[in-house]
Amino acid sequence: MKLKDLSELLNLSPTTVSRALNGYPEVSEATRRRVREAAETHGYRPNVRARSLATGRAMAIGHVIPLSSKHEMMNPVFTDFIAGAGEVYAAQGYDMLLTIVPDELQEQTYRDLRTNGSIDGLLVHSPKLAEQRIHLLNEIGIPYVVHGRASDCNEPYAWVDMNNTHAFRRATDLLLDLGHRRIALVNGLADMDFAIRRQAGFEEAFAARGLDTDPALIAGEEMTEMFGHEAARAFLAQPDPPTAFLVSSIITALGVRRAIGETGLRLGRDVSIVTHDDDLSYLQNRGDVPMFTATRSSVRDAGRHAARILIDMVENPAAGLRQALLEAELILGQSTGPRLQSAAE
Amino acid sequence: MKLKDLSELLNLSPTTVSRALNGYPEVSEATRRRVREAAETHGYRPNVRARSLATGRAMAIGHVIPLSSKHEMMNPVFTDFIAGAGEVYAAQGYDMLLTIVPDELQEQTYRDLRTNGSIDGLLVHSPKLAEQRIHLLNEIGIPYVVHGRASDCNEPYAWVDMNNTHAFRRATDLLLDLGHRRIALVNGLADMDFAIRRQAGFEEAFAARGLDTDPALIAGEEMTEMFGHEAARAFLAQPDPPTAFLVSSIITALGVRRAIGETGLRLGRDVSIVTHDDDLSYLQNRGDVPMFTATRSSVRDAGRHAARILIDMVENPAAGLRQALLEAELILGQSTGPRLQSAAE
DNA sequence: ATGAAAGCGCTAACAG
DNA sequence: CTGTTAGCGCTTTCAT
């Protein structure tokens, strides 16, 4: 069932049917209803490809996942973020195009997606500290939102991120308040932006009390269980082992817990863990002027927000960056709860 | 840069350029080379939408994720599977369309994707035991592959799955061999196909030794950390607590470990855990006759295989189901290693 | 071996 | 308010 069929069925021109279905005002309400009903009963679905060829809009948003290393993707945050975004896309009639790209093909991929005509906008995941992609995307001139940030970048860009620094500042404060002094930081890869911010928060907390962090208690790697295990084992084998762990990912935390178990130490008594993962606030930004904050929203919410911002940018290209940046208050203490109890002991 | 521009640049007709670029034999090698070079230097990319409108093929595969519950998506397996599939799609020139659908919109979504013209094939995730989707898809007549299985279904369908039953049979045997008798099973949701198969394997192992499983030591829920924590706490509080846990997911295992820690028990000494997740063999099936086995392949491999099978089905509709089913030998002992060490202790 | 022309299904001027 | 006429960028007969 295509537009033409439907129009013949109704003794109308394809144009009128199209207009009726797409809510153009110049159609009489009577015909509109007639058309709508016919479309409904015959299960007419417009062909997206044809439509986007005609309109020049793809009605699709691309999500690009860089595949530098195998385990990156296991990041549970990524998948919830996508779920939230997907929800919004579905509601707004957009498709979600997922592209997995090895690092070396990044540039080509972005360019292609654009000239291809397969997407209207882009969501960029896993930014590194030194992020070349932002410059590239600005040059290409395609609307995009970054999930995370690229601190080194001085060009303006839209992002949605959690307050990593603040979160880890608070988490570290928590452990310091509990009397811990030997705190190990089990972090993500050192060139990832979020990892750098988290470490900054960690160090900030120490510095604020005139204390020093011990570089021998800081590790950063791809956040696998294995890494958590090895890092924790190594830390615990040191002459002056940590009494607490601050861990960047739930997956890594699993390894840390295993290591603690193997040592015969009792979790929550001999040693504490604070796991950070998705239970932190997300912030939104489109530039410099306050737009809104989303405290206590989940990663999924962040995905929703990012999608909405992006669609807005796509549909109102004139507006450009709406210029908004605001750091949310982070309430770590109101975190998922159970995850923190072992530390609160 | 579009086809017409390129053709004018070369003093050729769009037709010839198209043929040259798409490898049609009737083009002279000389012009083909000339065209290829020009396309290369001018960075010409064919417009996918226009092409698929002309050819009737979408050059896209849809992945549909049912969103019955919030945490489902956190399944790390899903994301690695998608990464593998995405790799193959990219190599074969296919786009990957991700759709997140609430349960109640499933049917409509599948139908739409088809009549829409936005996809050529479908990958179905998270099958339940009683899976209505398979019947629907067979009726619609769109090529698809199921990630997982639907045991209740007696219609033929293509799937890629791990040998859940066998895996848990082996894992349980391992714990029984170590002398454990009070083994708790912390499983996924009871209506998920994989969870049912895993429990079957678990019970099989007990039955083979003339032992009974204790229903009071079996729990099945959405695989969150919280659930693992609560289930394990409850089990450990029983008069005759388990000495070992068999856990269906790495996330859930995190909660189980936390519970064990809180109890003051020492992991690997007082109590053991076997975590099952992605380190199991995957099988492929397209019907009834052996095709191949992939022992020890990762989830990512499974994604790759599924994608290849699907593309094959899409591109050779005549072939239909290639009729292949074979249970792979599962070698749990060769598993990722570290994850099993705490149990082997 | 190359080109002209028609058309994929839809939307968007431009009439009326 | 409705219809006519052109495309959108590509592929594909059918000629030559």
Q: What is the pLDDT of residues A122-143, one digit of tens each?
A: 999 887 767 788 888 888 888 9
Secondary structure (3-state) at B128: strand
Report the chain B residue with the minimal C-alpha distance to residue A52: B49
Secondary structure (3-state) at A42: coil
* Strand C nucleotides in reach of protein CB atoms, 7 A cut-off: 1-5, 7-13
Q: What is the pLDDT of residue A194?
A: 86
Q: How far, in Å, is the CA of A213 from the C1' of nucleotide C10?
A: 63
Q: Which of B294, B298, B334, B283 is nearest to B77 (CA)?
A: B298
Strand partners, A148: none
Q: Of how many residues is chain A composed?
A: 345
Cα(A286)–Cα(A258) distance, integer angstroms? 41
DSSP letter, residue B296:
T
Query: In the 95-154 stretch of chain B, whose C-beta falls under 7 Å of nucleic acid strand C?
Result: 117
Q: How far, in Å, is the CA of B273 from the C1' of nucleotide D1?
A: 73
Q: What is the pLDDT of residue B31?
A: 93
Footprint of strand D on the protein (CB under 7 A): A 11-16, 19, 26-28, 30-31, 50, 53-54, 56, 117; B 2-4, 14-15, 18-19, 21-22, 45-47, 50-51, 53-55
* Strand D nucleotides in reach of protein CB atoms, 7 A cut-off: 1-5, 7-13
Nearest-by-Cβ selection for A86 from B78, B99, B345: B99
Q: Do B47 and A65 touch (CB under 8 A)?
A: no
Nearest-by-Cβ selection for A52 from B49, B82, B229: B49
Cα(B275)–Cα(B342) distance, integer angstroms? 10
Domain ranges of chain A: 3-41, 56-162+298-326, 164-297
Q: CB of residue A50 closer than 7 A to nucleic acid strand C?
A: yes
Percent of chain A scored above 90 by pLDDT? 36
Region of poorest pLDDT, from A51-60, A88-97, A251-260, B191-200: A251-260
The nucleotide minimizing the C1' distance to residue A17's CA is: D2
Task: Please determine, for residue A202, whether its predicted confidence score (pLDDT) is greater than 90.
Answer: yes
Region of poorest pLDDT, from A108-112, A276-280, B195-199: A276-280
Strand partners, A185: A218, A246
Same fold for the pair A56-162+298-326 and A164-297: yes
Cα(B16)–Cα(B27) distance, integer angstroms? 7
Q: What is the pLDDT of residue B316?
A: 83
What would the pLDDT profile of B28-57 be if each residue is shown by its tens digit? 999 999 999 999 999 999 999 999 999 999
Q: How far, in Å, is the CA of B50 from the C1' of nucleotide C4?
A: 20
Residues of chain B where predicted confidence (pLDDT) is lower than 70: 68-77, 129, 268, 275-298, 318-345
Q: How far, in Å, is the CA of B54 from the C1' of nucleotide D12?
A: 9
Confidence of residue A333 (pLDDT cuts 50, 70, 90): very low
CATH class of A164-297: alpha beta
Report the chain B residue with the minimal C-alpha distance to residue A68: B83
Cα(B84)–Cα(B304) distance, integer angstroms? 5
Q: What is the pLDDT of residue A51?
A: 94
Task: Please determine, for residue A36, whether its predicted confidence score (pLDDT) is greater than 70.
Answer: yes
Cα(A184)–Cα(A217) distance, integer angstroms? 5
Q: What is the pLDDT of residue B276?
A: 55
Set of chain B residues whose Cβ sits within 8 Å of the Cβ of A70: 300
Q: CB of residue A318 closer than 7 A to nucleic acid strand C?
A: no
The answer for residues whose C-beta is within 8 angstroms of residue B193's C-beta and 6 or more apart is B127, B128, B129, B131, B148, B149, B150, B151
- What strands lie across the sheet with B272-275, from one edge to the other? B218-220, B183-187, B244-247, B272-275
Q: Which of A140, A169, A170, A166 is nearest to A155 (CA)?
A: A140
- What strands lie across the sheet with A272-275, from one edge to the other? A218-220, A183-187, A244-247, A272-275
The nucleotide minimizing the C1' distance to residue A6's CA is: C9
Set of chain A residues whose Cβ sits within 8 Å of the Cβ of B258: 257, 267, 338, 342
The rounded mean pLDDT for chain A is: 79
Q: Do A48 and B117 touch (CB under 8 A)?
A: yes
Does 3.40.50.2300 match the CATH number of domain A56-162+298-326?
Answer: yes
Q: Do B116 and A43 touch (CB under 8 A)?
A: no
What would the pLDDT profile of A204-226 be if each residue is shown by its tens digit? 999 999 999 999 999 999 887 78
Q: Are residues B328 and B163 in contact, defined by beta-carbon separation less than 8 angstroms?
A: yes
What would the pLDDT profile of A191-201 be if each residue is shown by its tens digit? 888 899 889 99
Cα(A332)–Cα(A168) distance, integer angstroms? 9
A220: closest CA of chain B, how far (Å): 20
Q: How far, in Å, is the CA of A8 from the C1' of nucleotide D5?
A: 18
Report the chain A residue with the minimal C-alpha distance to residue B51: A49
Q: Are residues A65 and A78 in contact, defined by beta-carbon separation less than 8 angstroms?
A: yes
A289: closest CA of chain B, how far (Å): 33
What would the pLDDT profile of A65-99 be if each residue is shown by its tens digit? 887 655 454 566 677 788 889 999 999 999 999 99
Q: Do A268 and B257 touch (CB under 8 A)?
A: no
Confidence of residue A303 (pLDDT cuts 50, 70, 90): confident
Q: How far, in Å, is the CA of B99 from the C1' of nucleotide D4?
A: 39
Greater confidence (A131 vs A34) lies with A34
Q: What is the pLDDT of residue B69?
A: 56
The per-residue b/e assignment along B70-102, b for 16 or more CB within 10 angstroms, e otherwise, is: ebbbbbbbbbbbbbbbbbbbbeeebbbbbbbbe
Q: Do A267 and B251 touch (CB under 8 A)?
A: no
Candidates A1, A254, A256, A300, partner chain B, best to mutate (most B CBs within 10 A): A254
Cα(A321)–Cα(A282) distance, integer angstroms? 19
> Average of pLDDT values for A288-312?
59
Task: Please determine, for residue A290, whether its predicted confidence score (pLDDT) is greater than 90.
Answer: no
